[in-house]
A and B are shown apart, each in its own frame.
Chain A
């Protein structure tokens, strides 16, 4: 039965599923990956670049992203997506290349690769989904896990004395001249999701302008790993998580948004003055 038959009125499209979102996802209820997949698919369709885009996958819950997004795709070993993307984009500079990585993949095992790809100003885009936990392997502590947060490998809560502090990767990358666009967004509510889409779109535009590296960190949820209902997970995301990880645009160099980089000599004491 069509909408028209059901309502007796002419149908109006409320939501059109992007064609690039080819299959239903198999993510857990309340997981943010499905939202982020949709945003990427919508942006690629709006920019009309889906047919020349290559997805560089990663290892984690999003390992099957290529099953849900109808894109040419290549798998990466855990953490190496930024290196793989470098190889793809250098050989195919006229294609659009992006990595889709979680926080365990990007901020722990793949730290060297993402920093150096950014430092080289590689002309690809990274979608960095940060839910502060290793979801795929059962909810262990990630570098991004908040202080005090209980996980299966920090059962008493992350103790910063022995397990260190969360790693603010996007802020760190913002200091690099090769990074042309860096933003942190959230899927915490409908308004935030809209802004997340804007940031993802801008990141791909910067790549199309052939300017340098672009990254969008998307704060997301892991209800199963966090031990919460989907609703409570969204509440935590809007609260403690976004308090610890401020959202916003860190760098948009084409639009002259950039942090004031520390100038050599400005704030340190010269060795000639003694220690």
Chain B
């Protein structure tokens, strides 16, 4: 069965995200766009001033789209000598006040880890797209979700967090690009848009209009200290007292993000006895599995986090109350499931079903795993 994402408005029994936090509302029958290209064009429309990148599969079309479009718009495009250089070019441009996009795939994200930490410490907004592929190491070029830990807990050193948004369709990716810029600038932080090789490479119908985004003039950007006190953009605070104070200020920002920016979508969760938790491409598989489970009389529902950090823990715990089982479905050996367990706090048994290395779970595989989890005999199908 072909898995086709449907716009939120067409989804039956949809549980909306909290009010004012977006959601998908595009009609289906418009233009066909590749995910990488749609993300790039969404950034152009949202007023991205500068793009820096380095070729890597499966995100290369994003770089190529920007190579053509950014000069057309009279904006900055540089193909850097490495991901290290690309993210540091972004650091410089962001310090000078640019709205910046950077994109890469998993191995390149590892190289960008250093500057992610610096940009978090320096409170610089940037949107970084990770079109995930299989790992570890050079891994494969197949779609994977093995960078969940890296995106939500990791990348660089030190005490910091960055918001992570995970689209599950190309139409949603378009909206989340703009939302990522909004979050990045509102909180002066890097934001990761966590996609995967399928979302990057697949083509889907999207609305042909992309939304613009107004730009403010912050009071911290660098343009020469003519007739004013010089400004310094930095992460260095050599005195421990100063650094702790700075860290506490960052933590206050993160607390505000956790309190106000959690996003998720749910489907068929009313009185669900099995709650599948999945994001991105895996959520598409899980949605089909929910339909098949329902066809077999098992009341299953889908909880789809859209922000992976902040993880929508409280909403998940609420919808899972009364369920027999919660199952994380991932294209990884089990990463998001740890956040699911933290959210559920042992109230309901939590299971994981995943494929790795560029393999994608099948709906039937999910159905079988669910049946085993709730004590029904499942056929060994994948």
Q: How far is the CB of B127 from chain A (nearest CB, A)?
A: 14
Complex Cα distance, B96 from A85, in Å, reads 10
Q: Which residues of B contact A86 (CB under 8 A)?
A: 78, 85, 89, 92
Closest Cβ of chain A to B271, distance in Å, is 52
Q: In the complex, which of the residues A52, A70, A74 contacts B233, with contact meaning CB atoms closer than 8 Å?
A: A74
Rounded to whole angstroms, the CA-CA distance of A250 and B85 in the bound complex is: 27
The complex places the Cα of A22 from the Cα of B97 at a distance, in Å, of 25
Given contacts A87-B50, A95-B224, whether A74 and B232 have CB atoms under 8 Å apart is yes
For the complex, count residues of A whose C-beta is within 8 A of B. 35
Contacting residue for B231 out of A72, A77, A80, A92, CB 8 A: A72
Select one of B96, B232, B235 contacting A87, CB under 8 A: B96
Does A154 touch B at the CB level, under 8 Å?
A: no
Q: Which of the residues B88, B98, B225, B234 comes within 8 Å of A113, measured between beta carbons?
A: B88
Bound: A71/B224 CA distance, A: 7
By the criterion CB–CB under 8 Å, are A90 and B88 in contact? no
For A20-58 the 0/1 string (1 means CB < 8 A from B) is: 001000000000000000000000000000111110110
A residues near B118, Cβ cutoff 8 Å = 75-77
Report the Cα distance A92→B76, complex, angstroms. Answer: 10
The answer to whether B236 and A63 have CB atoms under 8 Å apart is: yes
Report yes or no: B85 in contact with A70, Cβ–Cβ below 8 A. no
A206 touches B (CB below 8 Å): no
A77 touches B93 (CB 8 A): no
Q: Which residues of B contact A57 (CB under 8 A)?
A: 234
**Is there a chain A Cβ closer than 8 Å to B115's Cβ?**
yes
Contact assessment for B93 and A91 in the assembled complex, using a CB-CB cutoff below 8 Å: yes
- B285 contacts chain A at the CB level, 8 A cutoff: no
- Please tell me if the beta carbons of A56 and B234 are within 8 angstroms of each other in the complex: no
The answer to whether A80 touches B84, judged by C-beta atoms less than 8 angstroms apart, is yes
B89 contacts which chain A residues (CB < 8 A)?
83-84, 86-87, 90
Taking CB atoms, residues of chain B closer than 8 Å to A87 are 50, 52, 78, 88-96, 98, 100
Q: How large is the interface on B (under 10, 10 to 19, 20 to 34, 35 or more residues)?
A: 35 or more
Q: Shortest distance in angstroms between B303's beta carbon and chain A's nearest beta carbon?
A: 38
Nearest CB in chain A: distance from B371 CB, A:
50
**Are A72 and B224 in contact, with the CB atoms below 8 A?**
yes
Complex CA gap A72/B232 in Å reads: 6
User: Which residues from chain B contact A245 at a C-beta distance below 8 Å?
Assistant: none
A57 to chain B, nearest CB (A): 8
Q: Which of A96-155 contact B (CB under 8 A)?
A: 96, 112-113, 116, 120
Distance A70 CA – B227 CA, assembled complex (angstroms): 11
Q: With both chains docked as a complex, state the minimum distance between the C-beta of A120 and any C-beta of chain B, in angstroms.
A: 8
In contact, B226 and A51 (Cβ under 8 angstroms):
yes
- Taking the closest CB of chain A, its distance from the CB of B224, in whole angstroms, is 4
Cβ–Cβ contact A84 & B225, under 8 A: no
Task: Give the distance to chain A from B188, nearest Cβ to Cβ, in Å.
Answer: 14
Q: How far is the CB of A106 from chain B (nearest CB, A)?
A: 14
A50 to B52, CA, bound (A): 28
| Cα distance, A22 to B82, chains bound together (Å) | 36
Tell whether, in the assembled complex, residue A74 and residue B92 are in contact, meaning their CB atoms are under 8 Å apart. Answer: yes
Q: Once the chains bind, are A88 and B222 in contact (CB under 8 Å)?
A: yes
Given known A-B contacts A76-B88, A84-B88, A116-B81, A52 and B234 have beta carbons under 8 A apart = no
Q: Which chain B residues border A77 with CB–CB below 8 Å?
A: 88, 91, 114-115, 118
Interface presence of A73 (CB below 8 A): yes
Docked-complex contact A116 and B85, CB < 8 angstroms: yes
User: What is the CA–CA distance of A63 and B118 in the complex, to the nearest angstrom?
Assistant: 14
B-side contacts of A63, CB under 8 Å: 236
Identify which of A70, A85, A92 contacts B230 (C-beta below 8 A): A70
Q: How far is the CB of A226 from chain B (nearest CB, A)?
A: 25
Give the distance in Å from the alpha carbon of A95 to the alpha carbon of B225 in the complex: 11
From known contacts A73-B230, A77-B118, infer whether A83 and B225 are also in contact, taking CB-CB under 8 Å. no
Complex Cα–Cα for A152 and B231 (A): 37
CB distance from B160 to the nearest CB of A (A): 14
Contact with A along B198-235 (1 / 0, CB 8 A): 00000000000000000000000011111100111111
- B80 contacts partner chain A, Cβ-Cβ < 8 Å: yes
A123 to B240, CA, bound (A): 37
In the complex, 13 of the A-B residue pairs with CB atoms within 8 angstroms, ordered by the A residue number, are A53-B224, A71-B230, A72-B224, A73-B231, A73-B234, A74-B96, A75-B236, A84-B89, A84-B92, A87-B89, A89-B92, A90-B50, A95-B223
